[in-house]
Structure 1
């Protein structure tokens, strides 16, 4: 699928650079914690096992194999200690931190579609094979077959849209939401493996901070109320007012984006969903996007990361926000991000053919003023 950013034509077949210097000035940073956070983002894992060694239909042809996930895991584990690229495909990367050592990432954040079919359920409720496969690769652990960093989980349409067999219509969704909650929501009696600061039980949105950086996981999308979901926008409004009113940088994660695929509509003439369609929205509506953007207004959102579209790396902007999407995890894709008091660097990358090999493909950098 072709992609045409409106302001920056950054991505070519070889690589691209984005640089932004003009940003709004927020209140003094003197009262805010210092910020220097390095982390990873990935999306569209699509764990596909439905038996001990069998995949869902078409998964093998699409490359959604356990071998592909192991290649991805090896690459993200190999990032720390490498150098931020000074060049990509022979062109200067423009990164503020070019040539410096990449710090050990604080975590891996996921942007939805952890599994291919609602966790890999069967007719009778029980723990799905796909969720088991996902956890065996993307729960923090040791060794070559596990991610070595804390993992911040995010759900997408493949996790949440599939109905179960009556009378268990919502079992798939509940299992995936329970997985997210048990991994991130601590209580007086329970310590989550990857605890976060603020967890919304209704929407499963959550937020946390790394120094002076505020991060928010919005699951499928901010404001999702489909398939029985409860909109998290009231929670998001309160969360930002509580944790980001001092002007600190904010980074958001969700599954759907503002790209042509995420915003396609039904085309009656072509009898399909496409970017030219004038019918109903396929994934999320203009009104839903407007509702999310209205909630973000007035806050220092320095980046939005999403997934959903698989093969195309994207760095683009919409409504004044810089937006990033690596290729799918099962294709080897991820983003490497560093946010400091003075700048934000983002590099899109993919796993190479050798275990642990990494190919940097696109770079973006912006400096903060004020």
Structure 2
């Protein structure tokens, strides 16, 4: 199934496959001056760690499937990726992947696209380390054994991590705790070595970037340019980061929580008294102006993919204004994306954890040649 680079396209049915033949304007630009690119990694989103006591969940979490057992199945599937083969077929249809039938390299890391926790880390009235953040770290901080992710984890925050106000006078304590967790995991100093160090960390926005060979990767947290709930926009940092690290035309991949799908872009509908994709009122999550500001900052660079979360049950592969965009099913529902970027192609396979401890099923595929 061909993919259009000029119109939005969603994949919602199992077995969706796609191939894009993209002619990059950056082909050959400074190629000899940058490292070779062959990076395999995982992306997931919407973990929604939900514990608020030793064995109790936040309200509605059990009904929604946000259980520790679900996270353990997800972690097992992530850890079981290396050594499998890239899918040549999904539901009997060729995937078109350049890597089809080849062994999957050990992923360089797992990147997360927000909503690590369900309620601001799982806080209580008196400031302290939240149970949900403890649960998240016990599963999604690199470790050994069947209950921990085996790869470096690149953390990202979403609305469930940042939008909840604490009890006065500790209104911002919970946001600060989550932001501190990201910083302490990724920002090294002269005196401190982060567990998963990155190249460029912005203290104002907690955006950060790093490189795997000739691939540049950027974490934008809730969304690029977020200035709500006391956040400071990271767009000036983003412009400088791209100018510093990606001006040679190298491929760039972005990660954030919100996307360009109908849920992420919904507005208040006064007639229906709810937020929906057809509403004409204020934006629910981020506005047209904010989306335009982010895209303007990306113009002129070789952005090969944008990965996001936020919407839970629907796997999506679509394009918007020429950018290829990917969203797997939520992590607590078993979803993730397997990605490989080289100098000549990009492969993405959406997958979902199965019922067996290490089982997984590939559901959608996308490939483009550079």
User: Normalising by structure 2, what TM-score?
Assistant: 0.97
Could you report, residue by residue, the CA deviation over 1:269-289 in whole angstroms, capped at 9, with x for unpaired residues? 000000010000000000000
* Corresponding residue of 1:312: 314
- Measure, in 2, the Cα distance between the counterparts of 1:30 and 1:190: 34
Q: 1:58 to 1:317 in 2, by over 3 A?
A: same
Which position in structure 2 is the counterpart of 1:143? 145
3-state secondary structure, aligned to 2:254: strand
Matched-pair contact (CA < 8 Å) for 1:119–1:159: yes
Mapping for residues 252-271 of structure 1, pairs under 5 Å:
252-271=254-273
TM-score by length of 1: 0.97
**Pairwise CA distance, 1:13:** 2.1
Query: Displacement, 1:28?
Result: 3.8
2:367 is matched with 365
Instruction: Work out the CA distance in 2 between the residues paired with 1:6 and 1:246.
Output: 25
Alignment partner, residue 69 of structure 1: 71
1:6 and 1:302, CA in 2 relative to 1: closer, same or farther beyond 3 A? closer
SS at match of 1:317: strand
Corresponding residue for 2:356? Answer: 354
Residue correspondence of structure 1 range 296-307 to structure 2 within 5 A: 296-307=298-309
User: Cα–Cα, structure 1 residues 8 and 319, in superposed 2: closer, same or farther, change >3 Å?
Assistant: closer
- Once the two structures are superposed, the pairs formed by residues 49-88 of structure 1 within 5 Å of their partners are 49-88=51-90
- Runs of 5+ unmatched residues, structure 2: none
Mapping of residues 1-370 of structure 1, within 5 Å: 7=7, 9=9, 11-26=11-26, 27-368=29-370
Residue 12 of structure 1, CA deviation: 4.4
Q: Could you tell me how far 1:8 is from its partner in structure 2? A: 6.2
Q: Deviations over 1:295-324 (max 9, x none)?
A: 000000000000000000000000110000
Unaligned ranges ≥5, structure 1: none
Distance of 1:212 and 1:331 partners within structure 2 = 33
Deviations 1:325-360 (A, max 9, x none): 000000000000000000000000000000010100
- In the alignment of these two chains, the number of paired residues is 364
